[in-house]
């Protein structure tokens, strides 16, 4: 079977990319999804706060997904759920398996990679101590509770102050668990301020910044307690600062890793800063006709931005199929002072329809600050912000005229005022 576009993943990124490619004129589109349902992680994100930018109202995750799923019916897009993609070749043959069709090879003229990300686990952060049950990633606990109806513990400590951890602190509290504390190794939270306010402060759950879990204890194979220690500026535990908590559950909300096994298998260049593919201004990877968007490209904090970015990728895939590949010289976008990554990593100025939007994250909290774009030593644009935080993705727009002045590369830097 042959398609103009195959989208891998039916979370918010895949759904938006497929619908956008359809609107831009592609008629033979397939979405492949390994779960039984469309919507991806949004199905278990039952809390509200989605869609404020896109729909000007506050929706829950399932409602946000539902709006896109509604649009799919009648669109003529082929949807294959329960379908696992095993690998994709460089000439865009998609190898997949499903109970319904068995092993199949689908051919595509273009591919959108929208596999999302998975959570970092205990192994990724190396916590010492016993290896009992009762240690979950926050998203796993969320799945058990919100989709399957199991509360995974009664006395809970949360390590990491990412948004999923904060949301789970409130959710488990509402379901009758006692959440003892949220512990964050950095001196600032990785989550949105509103989630600190409405998930921790509302329920008097303490947040310990610059602290981490230094021991896990167990009884009869289940976690029975943890030790939390303060850390110094190099994130090393400070002896003498230990606090013991008795708990039956430890949730980890310690970051997300874009799920790029398929991308790597295709030999596509990966950016070690984002752990996602290196992409051009239209979300195209270094393999022409293959695009990446959403959390597989870089971890977002708002789904609204995932949808927007993925529509860009879907439209670009349509353009690739209908009008042929993009040519043209590219400039590199690199991070300067205070910036941890930029996306896109490369911009083909000649391929821009108007302005390029550059997304980035800062390394620490800033008060009033200037975002400066430099080409060589020359400042080509300056943007002012009242505050900047690592937990909140920032973006700037650079016009085509401005970019055509740049030579070779541009650098995005932060200057505190």
Q: Is 388 exposed, middle or buried (0-12, 13-18, 19+ CB in 10 A)?
A: buried
What's the distance, Cα to Cα, between the start and end of the chain in Å? 58
Contact between 49 and another protein per CB under 8 A = yes
Smallest distance from another protein to CB 65, Å: 8
Residue 53: which of 300, 314, 297, 282 has the closest Cα?
A: 300
Residue span binding another protein (CB under 8 A) among the ranges 179-187, 194-202, 265-273, 337-345: 194-202
- Going from the C-alpha of 83 to that of each of 7, 103, 353, 409, the distances in angstroms are 12, 10, 35, 41
Give the residue, chosen from 27, 89, 133, 193, that forms a contact with another protein under the rule CB under 8 A: 193
Q: Which of residues 306-365 bind another protein (CB under 8 A)?
A: none
What's the DSSP call for residue 296?
G
Selected from 107, 175, 329, 353, the binder of another protein by CB under 8 A is: 175
Q: Which residue, 188 or 245, is less far from another protein as judged by CB?
A: 188
Helix, strand, coil distribution of the chain in percent, nearest 5: 25, 35, 40
Q: What is the DSSP string of 249-287?
A: EEEE---EEE--HHHHHTT--EETTTTEE---TTSB-SS
Among residues 207, 292, 302, 398, the one that binds another protein under rule CB under 8 A: 302
- CA–CA distance, 26 with 185 (Å, rounded to integer): 47
Interface pick for another protein out of 62, 132, 255, 288 (rule CB under 8 A) = 62
**Contact with another protein (CB under 8 A): which of 148, 233, 377, 401?**
148
75 sits near another protein (criterion: CB under 8 A): no
Q: Is 179 helix (H, G, I), strand (E, B) or coil?
A: strand
Q: Is 301 in the site for another protein (CB under 8 A)?
A: yes
Among 197, 219, 395, 408, binds another protein (CB under 8 A): 197
Quick check: 384 and 394 in contact, CB under 8 A?
no
- Whichever of 196 and 330 has its CB closer to another protein, that residue is 196
Contact flags string 76-115 toward another protein, x per CB under 8 A:
----------------------------------------
User: Binding of another protein at residue 57 (CB under 8 A)?
Assistant: no
State the minimum distance, in angstroms, from the CB of residue 194 to another protein.
Answer: 4
Token pair in block for residue 201: 């402060």
Determine if 60 is a binding residue for another protein (CB under 8 A): yes
Q: Rounded to 5 degrees, what angle do the CA atoms 97, 99, 101 make?
A: 65
As measured in angstroms, the least distance from the Cβ of 66 to another protein is 5
Name the site residues for another protein (rule: CB under 8 A): 36, 43, 46-49, 52, 58-63, 66, 145-149, 174-175, 192-194, 196-198, 201-202, 301-302, 392
């Amino acid at each position: 079977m042959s398609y103009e576009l195959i989208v891998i993943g039916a979370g918010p990124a895949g759904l938006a990319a497929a619908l956008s490619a359809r609107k831009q004129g592609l008629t033979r589109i397939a979405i492949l999804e390994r779960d039984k349902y469309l919507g991806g992680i949004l199905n278990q994100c039952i809390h509200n706060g989605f869609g404020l930018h896109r729909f000007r109202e506050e929706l829950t995750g399932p409602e946000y997904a539902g709006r896109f799923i509604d649009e799919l019916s009648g669109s003529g897009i082929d949807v294959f759920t329960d379908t696992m993609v095993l690998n994709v070749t460089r000439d865009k043959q998609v190898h997949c398996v499903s109970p319904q069709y068995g092993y199949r090879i689908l051919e595509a003229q273009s591919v959108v990679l929208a596999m999302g990300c998975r959570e970092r686990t205990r192994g990724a952060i190396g916590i010492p101590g016993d290896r009992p049950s009762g240690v979950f990633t926050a998203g796993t606990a969320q799945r058990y509770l919100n989709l399957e109806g199991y509360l995974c513990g009664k006395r809970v400590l949360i390590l990491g102050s990412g948004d999923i951890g904060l949301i789970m602190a409130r959710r488990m509290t509402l379901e009758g668990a006692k959440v003892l504390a949220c512990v964050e190794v950095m001196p600032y939270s990785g989550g949105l301020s509103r989630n600190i306010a409405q998930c921790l402060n509302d329920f008097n759950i303490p947040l310990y910044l610059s602290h981490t879990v230094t021991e896990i204890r167990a009884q009869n194979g289940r976690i029975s307690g943890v030790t939390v220690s303060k850390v110094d500026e190099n994130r090393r535990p400070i002896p003498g600062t230990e606090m013991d908590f008795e708990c039956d559950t430890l949730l980890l909300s310690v970051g997300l890793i874009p799920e790029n096994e398929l991308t790597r298998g295709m030999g596509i260049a990966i950016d070690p800063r984002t752990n996602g593919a290196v992409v051009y201004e239209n979300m195209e990877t270094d393999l022409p006709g293959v695009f990446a968007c959403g959390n597989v490209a870089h971890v977002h904090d708002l789904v609204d931005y995932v949808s927007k970015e993925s529509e860009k990728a879907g439209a670009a895939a349509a353009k690739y199929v209908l009008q042929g590949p993009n040519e043209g010289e590219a400039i590199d976008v690199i991070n300067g002072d205070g910036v941890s990554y930029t996306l896109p990593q490369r911009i083909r100025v000649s391929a821009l329809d108007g302005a390029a939007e550059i997304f980035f994250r800062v390394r620490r909290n800033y008060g009033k600050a200037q975002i400066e774009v430099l080409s060589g030593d020359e400042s080509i644009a300056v943007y002012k912000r009242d505050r900047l935080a690592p937990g909140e993705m920032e973006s700037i727009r650079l016009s085509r005229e401005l970019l055509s002045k740049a030579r070779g590369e541009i650098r995005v830097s932060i200057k505190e005022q």
